[in-house]
Structure 1
Amino acid sequence: MKRTTSAIAAITATATATAAVVVGLGLGFATPAAAAASPPLVTRAALDAALVAGRGADVPFLEQEAESARTTGSVIGPDRTAYTLAAEASGRTAVRLLPGQYVEFTLPKPANALTVRYSIPDAPDGGGITAPLDVTLDGRSHRSMTLTSQYSWLYNQYPFSNDPGADLLHPDWWITECQCVPSATTPSPAITKPFRPSHFYDEQRLLLGRTLRAGDTVRLTAPKGTRAAWTVIDLLDSELVGRPHVNLRAANVLLFGADPTGRRDAAPAFDRAIAFARAHHLPVYVPPGVFQVNRHVVVDDVSIEGAGSWYTVVRGHQVTLAAPAPDGSVHTGVGFYGKDASVGGSTNVHLSGFAIEGDVRERIDTDQVNGVGGAMSASTIDGLYVHHTKVGLWFDGPMHGLTVRDSVIADQVADGVNFHTGVTDSAVRNTFVRNTGDDGLAMWAETTQNARNTFDHNTVQSPVLANGIAIYGGTDTTVSNNLVADPVREGSALQVGSRFGAQPFTGHLWITDNTTVRAGTYELNWNIGLGALWFYALERDIDADVQVVGDAFLDNTYNAVMLVSDWPVKDLYSITNVHLKDVRVDGTGTSVVSARAMGSATFENVDARNVGAVGVNNCGSFHFTAAGSEFALTDLGGNDGGGTTGPWLAPWELPNTITCADRPGVVPPPAPSRW
């Protein structure tokens, strides 16, 4: 969603990574996995749940990884190379099933609802296929799911294509695979097609109609004769869903003509119910059913309650507009929108207890085809499931006092949530985000400052592009108690970025008590690995009071913390006033801290172990002056541990000794464990 040449040019990959996907889509398939251990292994972001206790979203479902279940299939991964199926899987590992093979999970607790995260091949010419998946419950009853790849499989350069045979979308860009600028290359570079396939996974939910007991089994089988040459199962979420919510003192959309079978357009009925509810000071109630809505439903001063996201589904088709809208949209689709901020926005909107199922299969940044959008002040979003829209929730301020909580956002082609332009005193809490095509959670203070916003106790897993949580400018911002796992390419778990035209960072930025795992991707334009926490001074100094306190950075692919300014502006912008305290680093492929900018930071009680390279990789702004690096580190005491090269924060590294290994070798760290 953040359209700059810097962002666009960052979307690259190695020829090796592309070839690994293209050649038969084999991706290193291994031998069949062993039988599952007993009792059933329940994880959070593919981690022992004890390692992340109290962090991330408190969700009603239990996660089980396919690679830990009983299977006749083959394990793929682990692999963190972009453009591979394993890299986009939770924990970087999954199970591939050939026709006739299965993976079988043993339920840890009673459940009557399942979510399966999976991937199946694209159609040869793009557009996706459908294929069955057999579901056997405790060896007795049988259900079937119809899987689809219509919402996955993007190719090429930003903003991507659904066509696996597409030529380069931007032939004047540097292409890492051929180490060339295509427009200046004769003959054309040898780019293997499909070029840079990604966004492989989707998820599907299934209400069982009965409650399985703890210890019962769920077997997922790719049936013989399936159209899918292979089916990859990443994980199973199991849940015990309660009875539907009912509100008899409400404007029921059925009374206004809404069709709960999904065959007829229900949008006019929603409009009538909302008008009646506002006039009579009632909420709107949407009972169990599937309701077809193919455009925005404008909401202001109204509450809309569903029966629960498993029961009430608002589903829409993407519709091509006869002419572009004033905002540049060329499509519309299902979404609940506050009024635009330019006309005052909406207030007192409360949306709860339903699913929004979109139909977005491509990324068009001008399109307003988000699940929830517009400006909503003094409002709440509670208990939604948002699926297959462009951005789950995109808010354009100025606006204030919004709370998003207890929701699930999955399989977006762009961001999960974005607080964009003048959003103040707002929060996202206890929300689960998986498989976004851009930042999972973002605050973007473009043109107008954001202030006093909070992202707290959220889980973000497997953003395919960009960051788990990104903060672009803002005043007095809090990022706390979150769990972020498995960013795939061109981003980090946590980014503090002066970029995309953002307003400056001012006041405080608190990054406290978060846990990241398997984070820090490879930046191919720079040809370096990023940190799990990435400070990026591209357009301004970063000099607010930044407090990084109580965080845990686990199993870092490269660095735990990176502070960098892009080469053309390295002598213009610095990163200062950063303070790390009571931080734990368990495993780095390279260093604990990588400094590639002017500036300074302090460290107190930062403990590290399993460090793969020198603890501090201090290049400063690459002038290598006799006075030392332009980045200074201050030791405030208690900084213990390290790796094979000795203490991570050694006395000889302070305050600004040059220890610059521009591209250090990577030592894969062991799996994280209890401290």
Structure 2
Amino acid sequence: MSKAALTAAIAAGVVLAVGAAGTAYAKTPTPKPPLGTRAALDPSLVAGRGASVAFTEQEAETAATNGTVIGPDRTAYTLPAEASGRSAVRLAPGQWVEFTLPKATNAITVRYSIPDAPTGGGITAPLAVKVGKTTRTMTLTSHYSWLYNQYPFSNDPNAGLLHPDWWITECACVPAATTPAPVITTPFRPSHFYDEQRLLLGKTFAAGEKIRLTASSAAAWTVIDLLDTELVGPPKIDLIAANVLLFGADPTGRRDSAGAFDKAIAFARKTRLKVYVPPGTYQVNRHIIVDNVTIEGAGSWYTIIKGSQVALPAPAPDGSVHTGVGFYGENSRNVHLAGFAIEGDVRERIDTDQVNGVGGAMSDSTIDGLYIHHTKVGLWFDGPMRNIKVTGNVIVDQIADGLNFHVGVTDSLVQNNFLRNTGDDALAMWSEKTANARNAFDHNTIQTPVLANGIAIYGGTDNTVSNNLIADPIREGSALHAGSRFGAEPFAGHLRFTGNTTVRAGTYELNWNIGLGAIWFYALEKDMAADIQVVGDNFLDSTYNAIMEVADWPVKDLYSITNVHFKNIKIDGTGTSVLSARVGGSASFENVDARNVGAVGVNNCGRFNFPATGSEFTVTDLGGNDGGWLQPWMLPNTITCDDRPPVVAPPAPATW
């Protein structure tokens, strides 16, 4: 599909799904799910996986509407592809989508997209919210969405290439070195279309009530992806604490309260009290430094700490050119943050900037029950540090990662968090220079990371990824990933991927022009020889492959991936293969059941040297592998290489 066609598809909401090499195919409509879904699936298909959350998620495409359903479509740079379940509802001015409340509700979250301004920067538009006889207004904005161009992206839809010397897949060229020079249509590679807003309704409405969202004429169109409905309890009150109001904080948000927070923290440390932040919106435009302190709000719906991104007069020693709201440790310990929202103002990606919701180093600490929105990274930790527990948080609409353990984070836990619409890896452990060790990412839900992976492990020792639900990664990454890249320390000891479920993963890799696996292993800078166990995982409706092991072409004869073991796996639907091997090495399979496989079960290219002795990648059958996907493709190490096999869209996942 041409870039012009993709641009037209965005404007019109074309209903397509993508296959190999950008070809389009029709997909069988998904059966109507129950009233509340998880990652656009019947909850019974993902029982025991992912985060336990207070809200019920409903997909707009299954609600009543006089608008137009767009999708399903997995073509990057289109509105349906970035929607949960790869489908949404497009409303013209005056059109509506109507949901039925599944439970008693007094608060909603709407995930939506509206157009950008013609020159970038975004617009605002009201959305009418009617429940029963009550009508409220939610203000939608595209100030924090719509990025363009090449990494690290631009806010200008009319900008030329950021890197004219880079390979461009759309024209199979290096523009600066191509004669005649290719024409790149603008806006080039639009992405990050969606945002979300929360609204307290002011009263509780019973299950069964209808809630109607009606688009205004202030936007040419409004796309509604989903609605989250929730019954929020009363605000938490703490009378025995250092209340920030007593130190001059302004709950109306008109005055900057950063100094008041500093004073309250200093007092609380001396008196061994907690810091309490009562209901209100507090303006904070810089980092709050925390050490040996507990800061609690009245709940993330009531206590909102909000700041603007501020340009620094000169770059900071760490390279930052901006500051903004965030809670940072400086080799701190015994920090406990809970029960408030952090609302940032980050609208562009500048990788040197420390404009994250929570950052620095804080050992023996807890982060619980925060809502982190519109920061660069929700939580970015630079070790060495140990024993941090990040639990029960909602991290959405980030310009980059959701959470990153970067450099020497050990003995730590990330559990029961919900992440949606991150601009890079949702959860990552990056062992740059110093290994991360003995950490666990457990029972988290990740939806629609726009770029890169749901969960990515870059080197490290004895780490575990367990019981997570990862849905709808968009491009240049997938659901689960382990890679020797980005200068990471080697994998050592063991790495465990256990009990995870992925859905609609196995994405298109723009730079290679091939499909990835829902889980993929990548040897770029070193061999991967640690004990890697993939046990009890379910891979559902993978766009391309369920599993991929790969090396980059320039190093294909240098690095191998060995000692990877798959056991007790269920694979329901692949567009192409169960396993795509594009590297030297080996893997074993035991009790791996697969059905609805679109191409040859094992696509074994090895190192692409095709020796007469067979592939340089050896597949070992340990028995119990049902579905006919493994035999006769693996004995002894059969070459079955199809570089870009055709895609066959599988049926919707069903109970095994």
TM-score with structure 1 length normalisation? 0.94
1:91 corresponds, among 65, 85, 89, to 85
Q: Tell whether 2:231 aligns with 1:253.
A: no
Aligned mates of 2:338, 2:219 — CA distance in 1 = 37
Which residue does the alignment assign to 2:118? 124
Contact 1:121 1:149 in 2 (8 A): yes
Give the C-alpha shift of residue 40 in structure 1.
5.9
SS in 2 for 1:211: strand
2:157 corresponds, among 144, 158, 164, to 164
SS in 2 for 1:245: coil
1:550 corresponds, among 536, 539, 552, to 536
1:626 corresponds, among 609, 612, 616, to 612
Aligned mates of 1:272, 1:337 — CA distance in 2 = 16
Q: 1:71 to 1:476 in 2, by over 3 A?
A: same
Aligned mates of 1:38, 1:185 — CA distance in 2 = 49
1:265 corresponds, among 252, 256, 261, to 256
Which residue does the alignment assign to 1:8? none
Give the C-alpha shift of residue 21 in structure 1.
2.6
SS in 1 for 2:565: strand
Q: 1:112 to 1:89 in 2, by over 3 A?
A: same
Which residue does the alignment assign to 1:5? none
Which residue does the alignment assign to 1:538? 524
Aligned mates of 1:21, 1:46 — CA distance in 2 = 26
Give the C-alpha shift of residue 187 in structure 1.
4.3
The one-letter code matched in structure 2 to 1:209 is G
SS in 1 for 2:639: coil
Give the C-alpha shift of residue 18 in structure 1.
5.9
Which residue does the alignment assign to 1:303? 294
SS in 2 for 1:131: strand
SS in 2 for 1:394: strand
Contact 1:591 1:615 in 2 (8 A): yes
Q: Tell whether 2:177 aligns with 1:184.
A: yes
Which residue does the alignment assign to 2:470? 484
Contact 1:29 1:96 in 2 (8 A): no
Contact 1:17 1:82 in 2 (8 A): no
Contact 1:73 1:95 in 2 (8 A): yes
Which residue does the alignment assign to 1:281? 272
1:54 corresponds, among 42, 48, 51, to 48
Which residue does the alignment assign to 2:653? 672
- Deviation track 1:311-359 (CA, whole Å, cap 9, x = no partner) reads 00000000011111111111000000001xxxxx000000000000000
Contact 2:579 2:602 in 1 (8 A): yes
Q: Tell whether 2:548 aligns with 1:562.
A: yes
Unaligned 5+ residue runs, structure 1? 1-14, 31-35, 340-344, 642-646
Give the C-alpha shift of residue 189 in structure 1.
1.6
The one-letter code matched in structure 2 to 1:195 is F
- Deviation track 1:501-547 (CA, whole Å, cap 9, x = no partner) reads 00000001110000000001111322210000000000011111111
The one-letter code matched in structure 1 to 2:486 is F
Which residue does the alignment assign to 2:76? 82
Contact 1:18 1:195 in 2 (8 A): no
- Deviation track 1:155-202 (CA, whole Å, cap 9, x = no partner) reads 000000000000100011111122211111344321000000000000
SS in 2 for 1:653: coil
Contact 2:418 2:445 in 1 (8 A): yes
Contact 1:17 1:81 in 2 (8 A): no
1:656 corresponds, among 637, 647, 651, to 637
Which residue does the alignment assign to 2:57? 63
SS in 2 for 1:88: coil
Which residue does the alignment assign to 2:601? 615
Aligned mates of 2:141, 2:632 — CA distance in 1 = 56
Contact 2:10 2:78 in 1 (8 A): no
Aligned mates of 1:205, 1:525 — CA distance in 2 = 36
1:470 corresponds, among 445, 456, 459, to 456
Which residue does the alignment assign to 1:292? 283
Aligned mates of 2:432, 2:101 — CA distance in 1 = 46
Which residue does the alignment assign to 1:342? none
- Deviation track 1:596-624 (CA, whole Å, cap 9, x = no partner) reads 00111110000000000010000000111
Q: Tell whether 2:408 aligns with 1:417.
A: no
Q: 1:186 to 1:17 in 2, by over 3 A?
A: closer
Which residue does the alignment assign to 1:366? 352
Contact 2:13 2:90 in 1 (8 A): no
Aligned mates of 1:240, 1:409 — CA distance in 2 = 19
Q: How does 1:380-529 map to 2 (within 5 A)?
A: 380-529=366-515
Which residue does the alignment assign to 2:203? 210
SS in 2 for 1:275: helix
| Stretch moving more, 153-162 or 175-184 | 175-184
Contact 2:9 2:78 in 1 (8 A): no
Aligned mates of 1:338, 1:649 — CA distance in 2 = 50
- Deviation track 1:352-394 (CA, whole Å, cap 9, x = no partner) reads 0000000000000000000000001000000000000000000
Aligned mates of 2:432, 2:258 — CA distance in 1 = 33
The one-letter code matched in structure 2 to 1:594 is S
The one-letter code matched in structure 1 to 2:146 is W
- Deviation track 1:411-453 (CA, whole Å, cap 9, x = no partner) reads 0000000000000001110000000000000000001011000
The one-letter code matched in structure 2 to 1:312 is T
The one-letter code matched in structure 1 to 2:134 is S
Which residue does the alignment assign to 2:22? none
Give the C-alpha shift of residue 105 in structure 1.
0.3
Which residue does the alignment assign to 1:174? 167
Contact 2:475 2:510 in 1 (8 A): no
Aligned mates of 1:639, 1:565 — CA distance in 2 = 26
SS in 2 for 1:571: coil
- Deviation track 1:93-126 (CA, whole Å, cap 9, x = no partner) reads 0000000100000011001100000000000000
Give the C-alpha shift of residue 37 in structure 1.
11
Q: How does 1:140-159 map to 2 (within 5 A)?
A: 140-159=133-152
2:327 corresponds, among 299, 311, 336, to 336
Aligned mates of 2:579, 2:373 — CA distance in 1 = 37
Contact 1:360 1:388 in 2 (8 A): yes
Unaligned 5+ residue runs, structure 2? 17-29
The one-letter code matched in structure 2 to 1:236 is L
Give the C-alpha shift of residue 295 in structure 1.
0.2
Contact 2:99 2:211 in 1 (8 A): yes
Which residue does the alignment assign to 1:603? 589
Aligned mates of 1:37, 1:622 — CA distance in 2 = 41
- Deviation track 1:544-568 (CA, whole Å, cap 9, x = no partner) reads 1111000000000000000000010
Q: 1:555 to 1:148 in 2, by over 3 A?
A: same
Which residue does the alignment assign to 1:199? 192
SS in 2 for 1:203: strand
1:229 corresponds, among 220, 236, 250, to 220
SS in 2 for 1:254: helix
SS in 1 for 2:522: strand
Contact 1:389 1:413 in 2 (8 A): yes
Q: 1:18 to 1:619 in 2, by over 3 A?
A: farther
- Deviation track 1:111-152 (CA, whole Å, cap 9, x = no partner) reads 1100000000000000000001000012x1100011000000
Q: 1:640 to 1:24 in 2, by over 3 A?
A: closer
The one-letter code matched in structure 1 to 2:162 is L
Aligned mates of 2:279, 2:524 — CA distance in 1 = 49
SS in 1 for 2:11: coil
Q: 1:182 to 1:592 in 2, by over 3 A?
A: same
SS in 1 for 2:281: strand
Aligned mates of 1:17, 1:426 — CA distance in 2 = 44
Q: Tell whether 2:4 aligns with 1:21.
A: no
Give the C-alpha shift of residue 39 in structure 1.
9.9
Contact 1:17 1:84 in 2 (8 A): no
- Deviation track 1:617-651 (CA, whole Å, cap 9, x = no partner) reads 0000011111100101111110001xxxxx10004
The one-letter code matched in structure 2 to 1:661 is D
Aligned mates of 1:584, 1:86 — CA distance in 2 = 27
Give the C-alpha shift of residue 29 in structure 1.
5.9
